[in-house]
Amino acid sequence: MANVLAADKQRMALQMLVEGNSLRSVTRLTGVHRTTIMNLLARFGDACRQFMDEEMRGLTLNHIEVDEIWTFVGKKQGRLHTDERDNPELGDMYMWVVLDQETKLVPTFIIGKRSADMARRLMVDAASRLNMPRPQDWWNTTFEKVVQISTDGFKGYPEAVDLAFGPYCKFGTIIKDFRNADRPPGNYSPAQIISVERKARFGMREDEMDTICTSHVERNNLTTRTFMKRFARLSLGFSKKRENLAAAAALHFANYNFCWRPRHTDYSGKCGRLRPTPAMAAGVTNRLWKFDDLFSEVSARYQNG
């Protein structure tokens, strides 16, 4: 008979991972071998990705923000050997995140290099999850705007947004200029913003330019680095394989969308009442989930218990 890890142990290990623990720390806390936990993460993370692919459909989102968060797989880009530099599975890696400004939902993400091709893949995937006009209705020339999109100044975004959304979106970019951005090694204090440039790319009026914003998705990067050990800087928690990084990200965003409850924060910096989960705010589910609910649902659907 195969030695299968008990469901309670599986749930405990996965919940420790979404709370920001590393593989080895979970091993020490649970007594489960590191390889077993890694295989569990890969299997359950893939199931979480399938779960979100099914659930994140037919969404109505008013304003989505897009950003990329850096990490690396195996080794940093500058450490790659000559024969490794063209390998898409190694070196500097970016997680491209789409976040809805109002509900804080992350309907999709993608992991890969910072390239125009990845931008196109992300935008096409994002468009497939929204309530876009049906193909048979595209003869209508009114072109009612479905969503507003805000990104940074990466040159691959305009073509990608036009390909995926066409005339059915408002699209603008925001470029922030920082003082002392090239700081010496060892200085990790935040750089000072000295200017912000907003550009209405297409579909936007001049009086709407002030709404162009990526601050919410940039704030979400802090949540990612806090609760995903693989994104913690100056640590040994980085990923050795891209598929494991993708599985960990899927687990994180499944927990974030369905179980995480953001807080309202007033201007004094004090945390206020808890908000509903992003999935509830976006109408994906009508009830509060705990991690036990997520584990049970995903396991029942894709892992046969």
Give the per-residue pLDDT at 1: 40
Give the per-residue pLDDT at 139: 55
Give the per-residue pLDDT at 194: 85
Give the per-residue pLDDT at 266: 56
Q: What is the pLDDT of residues 133-179, one digit of tens each?
A: 766 555 555 567 889 999 999 999 999 999 999 889 999 999 988 87
Q: What is the pLDDT of residues 57-79, one digit of tens each?
A: 999 999 999 999 999 999 999 89
The dihedral region occupied by 91, where left means phi > 0, alpha psi between -120 and 50, and beta the remainder, is left
pLDDT range class, residue 236, cuts 50, 70, 90: confident
* Cβ proximity of 98 and 272 under 8 Å: no
User: Residue 64: what residue type?
Assistant: I
List, in order, residues 6 or more apart from 171 with CB less than 8 Å away: 148, 149, 150, 151, 157, 158, 161, 162, 165, 200, 201, 202, 203, 204
* Summary mean pLDDT of the chain: 89
The DSSP result for 106-168, as a single string, is --EEEEE-SSHHHHHHHHHHHHHTB-PPPGGGTT-TT----EEEEE-S-TTHHHHHHHHHTTS
Q: Return the higher-pLDDT residue of 266 and 56.
A: 56
C-alpha 152/C-alpha 48 separation (Å) is 28
Residue ranges per domain, the chain? 7-302
